[in-house]
């Protein structure tokens, strides 16, 4: 009898341990304790302070969920995520833009967000909402913020140099011609101290390529990257060639610094440090992210936002839509928990407005109203009229980007403009 009791006790302990371990998994699957991994680009600042405060508030309302955050950069973060996906170690959650997110969704590695978008769909702007869909019609990104990319000028520097009146920023739309821009850049080159430049045309990597693309499709005007139905790349048209030839002349003359060895971040750093009087890539969000770096003679300077010069009078801006996505790592409990985090960011009465404020841009939902505090915010809000087609989610976009910056490098370093663009268009249109 004793032997039977000992065996029974041993079996009880063994199966009890197995049951306990399985119980944890079952609890997790049923919505119990879950730990999420969030890899975050600096959408709200680069030190993670905002994200940690948001997580603390979320965890207080959702005690069964813990969120671990790791900050990644726009420079090496995409490659890190790609590597993690390949090794099945992707994070559970990230906040990014459709260019990458929709690719991931189309590759079948994201969870659909249809269920949490459905109750809010009527309140979300149509353009950002459309940009959040995959090829199968499912939503893989929850669109939260939106805003345009444009140029910016250091107001106080232009004032000190006596050039502020050459910038037509007091007109309603701030539109201007290539000659007006060229005249200002020549004046800046003549008056800037040694070591400072009017602007930088960067081309080292894909990061920030939206600034260089938007710059190049404007100028003489009517030089679109693609045809109207977004099925063919057309940036080897006569006007596109003229634009690239203008770029080459401007670099030779010193109106733009040859940034073939510089990334977008390098050019923005030069602008923020007042080593460049202007930048061809900026936004309210980028200004917020780089706030600590902004310095002109020991003080923060004012950025004047401008559309790209366009002789046709209809400047085209690329724009950002930002929001979170959920990686499908095979754990339904984690997917459900990550969706709760998304809903918290997007709809919580206290924190949803804070998320928008932290981006420095504008809400996609009409449920959130923001106070436009100054002329630059008001002009940015009005610049939606200049937004061009959102081609970042078409199937060829990801690969096209790998051809764009080498083409711009070749142009900056003197290769024939027509030959450069013909090669770019041929490569891009061959993408399957």
Which H or E run contains 403? helix 397-412
- Are 73 and 131 members of one domain? yes
Q: Is 115 exposed, middle or buried (0-12, 13-18, 19+ CB in 10 A)?
A: exposed
- For residue 77, what are the CA distances in angstroms to 70, 110, 283, 319, 361? 11, 18, 20, 21, 22
Measured distance CA(317)–CA(304) in Å, rounded: 16
Question: What is the predicted pLDDT for the residue at 384?
Answer: 86
Question: What is the predicted pLDDT for the residue at 5?
Answer: 41
Is 28 within the bounds of a domain? no
**E-assigned strand segments in 41-165:** 65-71, 93-96, 145-148, 150-154
Is 14 within the bounds of a domain? no
Measured distance CA(252)–CA(261) in Å, rounded: 16
- Are 340 and 409 members of one domain? no
- For residue 230, what are the CA distances in angstroms to 97, 126, 128, 226, 233? 19, 18, 17, 6, 8
- Are 286 and 201 members of one domain? yes
DSSP letter (8 states) at residue 282? E
Under a CB-based contact definition with an 8 Å cutoff, are residues 233 and 424 in contact? yes
Question: Which segments of the chain have a pLDDT < 70?
Answer: 1-32
Is 2 within the bounds of a domain? no
Is 56 within the bounds of a domain? yes
State pLDDT tens for residues 110-122. 999 999 999 999 9
Tokens of 174: 């701030």
- Are 182 and 61 members of one domain? no
First to last CA, the chain: 74
- Are 180 and 44 members of one domain? no
- Are 229 and 213 members of one domain? yes
Least Cα distance to 209 among 197, 220, 201, 221 occurs for: 201
Which H or E run contains 324? strand 319-326
Question: What is the predicted pLDDT for the residue at 316?
Answer: 94
Is 286 within the bounds of a domain? yes
- Which bin fits 148, alpha (ψ -120 to 50), beta or left (φ > 0)? beta
Question: What is the predicted pLDDT for the residue at 282?
Answer: 98
Q: If you search the block for the tokens 């910016």, which residue do you land on?
A: 152
Question: What is the predicted pLDDT for the residue at 155?
Answer: 98
Q: If you search the block for the tokens 């029974």, which residue do you land on?
A: 8
Tokens of 12: 């009880």
Tokens of 306: 């401008």
Is 136 within the bounds of a domain? yes
- Are 77 and 158 members of one domain? no
Under a CB-based contact definition with an 8 Å cutoff, are residues 244 and 421 in contact? yes
State pLDDT tens for residues 315-335. 999 998 999 999 999 999 999
- Are 300 and 328 members of one domain? no
Tokens of 321: 């839509």
Tokens of 77: 């973060």
Give the domain range for residue 402: 150-316+395-429
Is 404 within the bounds of a domain? yes
Is 157 within the bounds of a domain? yes
- Are 171 and 223 members of one domain? yes
- Are 166 and 132 members of one domain? no
Classified as helix, coil or strand, 95 is strand
| CATH number for position 312 | 3.40.190.10
- Are 295 and 421 members of one domain? yes
- Are 156 and 141 members of one domain? no
Which H or E run contains 382? helix 375-382
DSSP letter (8 states) at residue 348? -
Measured distance CA(411)–CA(418) in Å, rounded: 10
Number of independent structural domains in the chain: 2
**In degrees rounded to 5, what are phi and psi of residue 152?**
-150, 150
């Amino acid at each position: 009898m004793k032997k039977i009791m000992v065996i029974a006790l041993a079996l009880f302990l063994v199966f009890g341990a197995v049951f306990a371990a399985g119980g944890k998994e079952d609890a997790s699957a049923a919505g119990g304790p879950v730990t999420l991994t969030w890899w975050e680009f600096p959408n709200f600042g680069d030190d993670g302070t905002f994200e940690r405060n948001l997580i603390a508030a979320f965890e207080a309302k959702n005690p069964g969920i813990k969120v671990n955050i790791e900050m990644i950069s726009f420079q090496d973060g995409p490659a890190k995520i790609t590597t993690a996906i390949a090794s099945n170690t992707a994070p559970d959650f990230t906040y990014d833009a459709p260019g990458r997110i929709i690719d991931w969704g189309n590759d079948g590695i994201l969870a659909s967000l249809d269920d949490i978008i459905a109750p809010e769909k009527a309140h979300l702007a149509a353009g950002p909402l459309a940009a959040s869909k995959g090829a199968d019609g499912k939503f893989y990104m929850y669109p939260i913020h939106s805003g345009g990319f444009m140029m910016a000028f250091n107001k106080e520097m232009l004032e000190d140099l006596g050039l502020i009146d050459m910038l037509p920023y007091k007109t309603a739309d701030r539109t201007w011609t290539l000659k007006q821009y060229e005249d200002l850049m020549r004046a800046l080159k003549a008056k800037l101290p040694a070591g400072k430049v009017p602007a930088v045309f960067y081309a080292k990597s894909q990061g920030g390529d939206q600034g260089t693309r938007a710059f190049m499709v404007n100028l003489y005007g009517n030089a679109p990257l693609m045809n109207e139905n977004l099925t063919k790349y057309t940036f080897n048209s006569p006007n596109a060639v003229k634009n690239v030839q203008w770029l080459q002349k401007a670099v030779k003359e010193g109106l733009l610094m040859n940034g073939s060895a510089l990334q977008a971040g390098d050019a923005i750093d030069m602008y923020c440090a007042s080593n460049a009087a202007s930048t061809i890539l900026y936004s309210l969000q980028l200004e917020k992210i780089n706030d600590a770096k902004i310095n002109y003679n020991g003080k923060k300077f004012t950025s004047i936002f401008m559309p790209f010069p366009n002789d046709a009078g209809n400047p085209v801006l690329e724009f950002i839509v930002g929001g979170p996505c959920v990686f499908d790592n095979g754990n339904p409990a984690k997917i459900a928990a990550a969706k709760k985090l998304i809903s918290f960011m997007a709809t919580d009465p206290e924190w949803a407005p804070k998320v928008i404020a932290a981006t420095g841009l504008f809400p996609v939902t009409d449920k959130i109203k923001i106070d436009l505090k100054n002329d630059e915010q008001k002009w940015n809000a009005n610049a939606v009229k200049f937004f061009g087609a959102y081609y970042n989610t078409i199937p060829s976009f990801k690969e096209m980007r790998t051809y764009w910056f080498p083409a711009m490098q070749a142009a900056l370093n003197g290769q024939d403009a027509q030959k450069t663009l013909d090669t770019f268009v041929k490569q891009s249109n061959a993408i399957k």
